[in-house]
Structure 1
Amino acid sequence: MSQELVLVTGGTGFIAQHCILALLSQGYQVRTTVRSLAREAEVRDNLGTGGAQPRARLSFVVADLGSDAGWAEAAGGCRYVIHGASPTPSGTYATEEDWVRPAVDGNLRVLRAARDAGVARVVLTSAFGAVGVGHKPMNRPFNEDDWSDLTGNVAPYQKSKTLSERAAWEFIRNEGRGLELSAVNPTAVLGPALGADYSHSIRIIKAMMDGQPGLPRINSGFVDVRDVADLHLRAMVDPAGNGERFLAIAGESIWFAEVARILRARMGAAASKVATRSLPDWLVRLGAWRDPRMKDIVPILGVNMNATSAKARRLLGWNPRPAEEAIVATAESLVRLKLLAPDPS
């Protein structure tokens, strides 16, 4: 058990809260940032859902990635930083620059604060979006040597993840002054929701269980959030983690139709509304003309997005649970927390 202090940025986030749970279970003291202390009670409630009552072992600091205020206080006295906070622009008309600049500046702000506070290592929560998009079709799984090709068709979120991770590595090379960095690049993150504010990937499962009428022909890697948290902690303390990126995927990627079949097979009556038919690509493209929120999926229709986690397994001894378990755990939590759409009656 360790009494060392770890900063986890963005404590309202899904991955961040599971990282806090993992750190607490290993005896760490945890400090987390929020943009408003009004959300402290919500975070503590969610951690309680996850089985933890940290009390004084968890403290909160107000800090926003868009401002320098609070970051020196947040990083002060910390041995490690897990940086998972990521700015998300609001509004339908957010520009690409609205995504990219805050993400880049936010990473640099946290890294400067960590360096100046004498932190040993930062673990950056990046994304598969910084690895596997914009490419021509691949005949091999993606690995950590791959970077998303920004000359291809890349959504603003994925571009922001790519450029902000690249900026972090450049900072370490040029200005890090001994600060160590490791990056975790998860595929779609599933697993137990702790409350109503959960990951974008969990919305995939919720939409299926709420009766989405058909499935776009999308292929994705999946990984359980508890295993993503475990990988962050391994990358944080293992000497082999320094200077490395780690893809987080459980097994091989699968198609949404297979996810639907797993739900139907494992979730019984709770999955009675899950559709298993695939929508033709032309219909999805037509829908994207009418609903701009769908346009980001058009470039990945029919594209194999397989990746390998061999590096994390080899260097850090990481051993994630199968994707099927992550899918089922997600669905069970949505039922347990009553987060599915009610049946009309």
Structure 2
Amino acid sequence: MARNVLVSGATGYIAGHVIEQLLAAGNTVTGTVRDPNDKGKTAHLLAMPGAERLSLVAADLTDPDPFTAHADVDAILHLASPYVINVQDAQRDLVDPAVQGTLSMLRAAAANPRVKRIVLTSSMAAVTDNPDGRVLTDADWNTTSSLVRNPYYYSKTLAERAAWEFMEREKPGLDLVAINPFLVIGPSHTKAVNTSPQTLVDMLKGTYPAVMALTWGFVDVRDVAAAHVAAMNRPEANGRYLCVAANMSMAETAALMRAEGYAGRLPKLDLSGGFGTALMKLASYTQPKGAGSYLRTHLGQVPRYDATRVTRELGVSYRPVAQSLQDTLADLARWGHIPAAAR
């Protein structure tokens, strides 16, 4: 059944795929952006098939109430939230816009009886910032991040907690579903590089001095978008959905990139053993605060999780990570961020 849907943060990486899928299914979409007249940021959305059913409106996460004027919709997909690792002021640049934007969206939705469901883009960052070998589920929460320790993770945790606390406190006539993806990769609708694909660009540019004991949980952006749409459409959807296809270590990622013909300045020195990990943790103190904190809490850790609810309850099958990485690399080359594969 076609619906009127509000998508916040419409120019974002995941949001572009969400809007594409919503329009393809016949929905009418209102997308919030900072400046609807900035064609450099919105042209790709207006060129999508079905864009005659897309309206772009101005909204700012930091406004006290940026959503009410556009809340005459059946469902809201709230994707707007800053995603950066290194910031000058974590409270101002990460926590405040994430929490205030989420609460503003919820208040606007609660004030409109037409809205029946909100789907919130959260993150595995709200589940943990230090994988410790336990199998993580939707019942787990990040309790260790702070303004100085992984502040991005802290912002995602506080924003999602604020959303669930609002639902418990206000008991509005609607329900909330959260999608919690790990590192999101896959093709982009714009030249802008999202933080997760930027990791691949950095590996090829020689930013990493060595192969480190890092293991990443990856998921394709198209599957994350599909999970959002399914969570909106399926009445039985509820709670939180961890969204991860599979793990791949830094060494495995580099090997795949070489095999696909993307050599560049990939790290060759292997410091993924115990001594190398200790050395890299010491070196992390020379890095920007956000990057250093991330390295100290993730080096040597292998995340484990149960992300099967997305498939079991939402009907979304994950693409193989190797295929998603191949598609990401080809897309990065298409946009000129990395050299084309050598064949």
TM surpasses 0.5: yes
155-164 or 313-322, which deviates more: 313-322
Letter in 2 for 1:15: I
Q: Distance in 1 between matches of 2:172 and 2:138?
A: 24
Quick check: 1:134–1:151 contact (8 Å CA) kept in 2? Answer: no
Deviates more, 1:34-43 or 1:221-230: 34-43
Aligned equivalents of 1:286 and 1:294: distance in 2? 13
Cα-to-partner distance string for 1:160-196 (whole Å, 9 max, x where unaligned)? 1111101101111221422110000000000002222
1:294-305 matches, cutoff 5 A: 294-296=291-293, 297-305=295-303
Change over 3 Å in CA distance of 1:21–1:313 after alignment to 2: same
Post-superposition shift, 1:287?
Answer: 3.5
How far off its partner does 1:340 sit? Answer: 2.1
Q: Aligned in 2, Cα 1:335/1:311: closer, same or farther, shift over 3 Å?
A: same
Task: Indicate the SS of the match to 1:117.
Answer: coil
The match for 2:314 among 313, 316, 320 is 316
Among 138, 144, 159, the alignment partner of 1:144 is: 138
Aligned-residue offset at 1:40: 4.3
Equivalent-residue separation in structure 2 for 1:277 and 1:192 (angstroms): 29
Q: Describe the shift of the 1:97–1:230 C-alpha distance in structure 2 as closer, same or farther (beyond 3 A).
A: same
Q: Which residue of 2 aligns with 1:275?
A: 267
Task: Give yes or no for the alignment of 1:112 onto 2:111.
Answer: no
SS for the counterpart of 2:128 is coil
State how far apart, in whole Å, the 1-side matches of 2:218 and 2:46 are.
Answer: 23
User: SS of 1:240's equivalent?
Assistant: coil
Q: Is the partner of 2:57 in helix, strand or coil?
A: strand
Q: CA deviation at 1:272?
A: 4.4
Aligned residues: 332
Q: What is aligned with 1:9?
A: 8
> 1:92, CA displacement in angstroms?
4.4
1:134-177 deviations in whole A, cap 9, x for unaligned? 46x22x32111111122788411101111110110111122142
Residue in structure 1 matched with residue 336 of structure 2 by the alignment? 338
Tell me the CA shift for residue 227 of structure 1: 0.2
TM-score (norm 2): 0.89
1:44 touches 1:53 (CA, 8 Å); kept in 2? no
Letter in 1 for 2:105: V
Contact 1:13–1:198 (CA under 8 A) maintained in structure 2: no
Gaps of at least 5 residues in structure 2 are none
For structure 1, the 5+ residue unaligned runs are none
Q: Is 1:126 matched up with 2:125?
A: no
Task: Name the CA distance, whole Å, in 2 between partners of 1:210 and 1:107.
Answer: 36
User: Retained in 1: the 8 A contact 2:85–2:291?
Assistant: no
Same amino acid, percent of matched pairs = 35
- Residues 1:340 and 1:38: Cα distance change in structure 2 (over 3 Å): farther
- The CA deviation at 1:207 is 1.3
Q: 2:284 aligns with which of 288, 298, 316?
A: 288
**Contact kept in structure 1, 2:213 and 2:300, CA below 8 Å:** yes
1:32 is matched with: 31
Deviating beyond 6 angstroms after TM superposition, the runs of 4 or more aligned structure 1 residues are none
Offset of 1:331 from its aligned partner?
0.3
Partner of 1:169: 164
Residues 1:61 and 2:53 aligned together: no
Deviation at 1:206, TM superposition (A): 1.2
Shift of 1:239: 1.6
